[in-house]
Amino acid sequence: MKKSTAKLFGILTLATGLITSCSSNDNPTPTNPPSATFTADATNFQGDINEGEVTLDATKKYKLTGKIQVNSGATLTIPAGTIIEGTGGTASYIAIAQGGKLNINGTAAKPVVMTSGLATKAAGDWGGLVICGKAPINRVNGGAGTAQSEVADLSYGGTASADNSGSIKYLRIEYAGAAFNSEKEFNGLSLFGVGSGTTIDYVEFFHGADDGVEFFGGTVNTSNLISIGNEDDQFDWTEGWSGTNTNWYGKLDFGKGNRGIEADNFELGYLNTPIANPSITNLTLVGPGSAPTSGTWLENDAMKLRRGTKGIFTNLVFSGWATGFNVENDETIAYIPTSLKAVNVNFIADVAVKSKGKLNPVSPATSGVSTNVSAIVTSESASTGAGNGAGMPVWASGWSVGF
């Protein structure tokens, strides 16, 4: 009898242990809770986000006092209506590293705004937004190389064309572009090797000290971009970027800025692959006038296309430029009019020269030989550009500024 009881007790003990073991495996205790190591302090918003998802609170105004860096495996989510104010010059910026994600969920009624936190706001008050992805760049011919970003010092590039760095919708970036020196400064948005899995839609760059947005290689596509009053170029690309884009609007303020668009393949290898080859459909570029009486412009071009870039541009409006298309370098000109062309261009007001071209310099002491590039414009029409000629497009209503 005692022996039977002992056996039954042993069986019950074993069964209890098995039940306890299964229960523990089904509901494991997290060893690394999401975002356990980062707290978003609205009064001193800075630091590295290394894990999980950090979601900001739209009822708070975040003072960006230093660097926010979102590292691989982590996500920063910013809800509609959130305001982030940068106050630290070049030390104050937001950077998304390779493998990190940024989700900006603004709306037309409640855009997310990244702006200056100073009482008197001015271009260059803070850095800007930097995103680094794993899509191809051409700094090494062939598109398999990587590099370090010129701001934020993060790796970018690779072979993942469809890389996903998150989703950005209804964002306004103001007064960015803080400068380290005369050769190195932030843009409003810097896209380093960003892939086509990333969404960029309804974004404005307003009164920055350098470019509104610059694409450094990658394959990211965009739509509904506005760039107004930035003090270098409104849009810029290099390092082999090839994206599909719709609805771009760019405008220079009087006395500020160089060009609507500056476009390169790669400055140290005009034929490096992948070749920069974006398409832009529905584009408006508004300049300061073909012959301004005051202010300083270095070139006053609607589009400067050089250093081997390709590009297909459809349904364009140019207004108020000394030159419409300024095409430089033999390698670029060779693509006209097959893989470098503009279809349906409306020169609606005060464009002094529709197109001009210059071959490669014969020697460093020369500026090159002028050549006819008029074939870049394959047709002219009464096109509407970004939607409303030189005026504010309907899709810009409610969330943008500066028109």
Q: Take residue 211 and report the two structure tokens written for it.
A: 């470019």
Under 8 Å CB-to-CB from 136, ≥6 apart: which residues? 143, 144, 157, 158, 159, 161, 193, 217, 218, 219, 240, 274
Query: What is the structure's pLDDT at 363?
Result: 67
Query: What is the structure's pLDDT at 5?
Result: 37
Query: What is the structure's pLDDT at 181?
Result: 86
Under 8 Å CB-to-CB from 239, ≥6 apart: which residues? 137, 138, 139, 193, 215, 216, 217, 264, 265, 266, 276
* The Cα angle at residue 191 between residues 85 and 75, in degrees rounded to 5: 65
DSSP structure class, residue 7: H
Distances (CA, A) of 370 to 290, 300, 333, 356, 357: 20, 18, 11, 8, 6
Q: Take residue 54 and report the two structure tokens written for it.
A: 């950090």
How many Å apart are CA 403 and CA 388, to the nearest integer? Answer: 12
Q: Is 238 exposed, middle or buried (0-12, 13-18, 19+ CB in 10 A)?
A: buried
Query: What is the structure's pLDDT at 33?
Result: 43
How many Å apart are CA 101 and CA 104, to the nearest integer? Answer: 10
Positive or negative torsion for Cα 264, 270, 274, 279: positive
How many Å apart are CA 274 and CA 175, to the nearest integer? Answer: 33
**Partner residues linked to 249 by β-bridges:** 226, 284
First to last CA, the chain: 95
Q: Take residue 125 and report the two structure tokens written for it.
A: 């008050």
**What's the whole-model pTM score?**
0.90
Amino acid at 229: G
How many Å apart are CA 208 and CA 361, to the nearest integer? Answer: 32
Query: What is the structure's pLDDT at 294?
Result: 52
Query: What is the structure's pLDDT at 291?
Result: 74
Query: What is the structure's pLDDT at 290?
Result: 85
Query: What is the structure's pLDDT at 213?
Result: 98
Amino acid at 95: A
How much helix, strand and coil, in percent to the nearest 5, is found in the chain? 10, 40, 50
Please report the DSSP string for 189-237 in residue order. EEEES--TTSEEEEEEEES-SS-SEEEES---EEEEEEEES-SSEEEEE
Distances (CA, A) of 369 to 84, 183, 270, 308, 354: 49, 28, 18, 17, 18
Distances (CA, A) of 184 to 66, 90, 127, 147, 177: 18, 10, 11, 16, 10
Question: Which residue ranges in the chain fall short of pLDDT 70?
Answer: 1-36, 254-255, 292-298, 363-366
